[in-house]
Amino acid sequence: MSDFTNQRVLITGAASGIGRMMAQEFAQKGAHLVLWDVNKAGLDAARDELAAHPGDVAVYTCDLSNREAIYATAKQVLDDHGPVDILINNAGIVSGKPLLEIPDEHIERTFAVNTLALFWTTRAFLPGMVEKGRGHVVTIASAGGIVGTARMTDYCASKAAAISFDESLRLESKRLGLPIHTTVICPFYISTGMFEGVKTRFAWLLPILRPEYVVRRIMGAIRKKKRRLIMPRFVYVVYPVRLLPVTAFDGLLAFFGINKSMDEFTGRAGH
């Protein structure tokens, strides 16, 4: 038996990418899954893929940019299944354009999905975790929340907020004595299609991450209840480098090609 056997795991953004791959991993380990996404066809396909696994799989179509939809879907989940053991806030979107080229509504949607949805899902499911005496809230943030870059103003700002959300929730839970674990995940670009076209100058230091590797590391971090996972390790260099003058900091970002990494970005087809 694995650590996840019979645990109820809710994953947002589960119709594709690492969300869907995490669902497969949890299913293989005997978890009961609740999958959310705005993409109904993708959710149905994911459910069919997982039908042979021992745990049950429930799918709910939900627009993560809509607070009322999140609360309504959460109420349905709680009515249908009771509290969840692990909440994985994975859903995310990216514009990939310079600030002046991003429509206002796209900026608002980025923050609604990447940041505000964290608040609504956690507020919906945290009381059940507290009453049950255990729970784990996982936030899929980004290395882009640690260091900004061109063509990513909305995305990086939304992910920086996600990192602060996790940190504050962790400290607040300790302060209030809540039986809650938190984990924040901060990966560099992942080759799932969401960041199709991105480039890295030094692949041996900052590789475009393989989704299989990322999912394996995330599963390990959740199982071990790690507080934070940053991939690759080279990203940790950002923290001491921030002590440098801004001109030196910016120069290092330029040298490592980070500020040009989105120049050839195309994103996932159809998005």
Give the span between the Cα atoms of 200 and 202, in whole angstroms.
6
Give the span between the Cα atoms of 39 and 66, in whole angstroms.
14
pLDDT at position 51 over 50: yes
State which H helix or E strand residue 36 sits in: strand 32-37
pLDDT at position 270 over 70: no
Domains, the chain, ranges and CATH? 8-260 (3.40.50.720)
Please give the single-letter amino acid code of residue 130: V
For residue 193, what pLDDT band results from cuts at 50, 70 and 90?
Answer: confident
Q: Is 189 a catalytic residue?
A: no
For residue 31, what pLDDT band results from cuts at 50, 70 and 90?
Answer: very high
pLDDT at 55: 86
Give the span between the Cα atoms of 88 and 19, in whole angstroms.
9
Q: Catalytic one among 71, 155, 213, 239?
A: 155
Average pLDDT over residues 251-261: 94
List, as one string, the DSSP characters of 209-222.
BPHHHHHHHHHHHH
pLDDT at 3: 85
pLDDT at position 271 over 60: no
pLDDT at 54: 85
pLDDT (tens digit per residue) in 84-106: 999 999 999 999 999 999 999 99
Average pLDDT value over all residues in the chain: 95
- And the tokens for 26? 């949890």
pLDDT at 1: 35
For residue 2, what pLDDT band results from cuts at 50, 70 and 90?
Answer: low
Q: In the beta sheet, which residues pair with residue 72?
A: none
pTM, two decimals, is: 0.96
Q: Are 257 and 268 in contact (CB under 8 A)?
A: no
pLDDT (tens digit per residue) in 103-125: 999 999 999 999 999 999 999 99
